[in-house]
Amino acid sequence: MLEGYCKGCMPDNPKEECGVFGIYAEGADVARYTYFGIFGLQHRGQESAGIAVSDGARIRSFKEMGLVTQVFDESILQDLKGHIAIGHTRYSTTGSSVLCNAQPVICESKFGTIALTHNGNLINTAEIRAELESGGETFVTTTDSEVMARLIAKSSAATIEDAVREMMQKVT
């Protein structure tokens, strides 16, 4: 009797949403570490992969549709020099599965260029996006991650840390 009791209640296989990896390591090949980090998280997103690396002055990034091993090769990793990196594998939950929605999201701000990756869904994305668009903000993706980045970029906070805190208080 109990055998069929919960039939259909549970998914038949695990469902994951995106893989996010970050590293800060001066003197290390952070792009390669990030490559292996997101390779290990490949099961969490198989639509696209991306890495952004900073040397403290400039952010270099690369992202493409496909699996980590299809997106990155040695020459790409060699071009991503710096001491801090973030990486992302995407399983789309907000926004369609197209290159412009691949992460990391790169955005200009008064704090300089910022790169952001995110896993999950914001409940109030449409509301915040509409508010930002009515203020003249233009978007290049349909993701909630870009909404987060644009909130940071448009913040009146004095520091990026305060801008991130402010953004976190606005999103749900």
Among candidates 19, 57, 58, 23, which has minimal Cα distance to 40? 19
Residue 154's contacts (CB-CB under 8 Å, 6 or more residues apart) are 109, 132, 135, 137
Extract the tokens encoding 48: 């696209």
For the annotated catalytic residues, the residue numbers are 18
Q: Which helix (H) or strand (E) holds 31?
A: helix 30-40
Distances (CA, A) of 124 to 30, 57, 162: 34, 33, 21
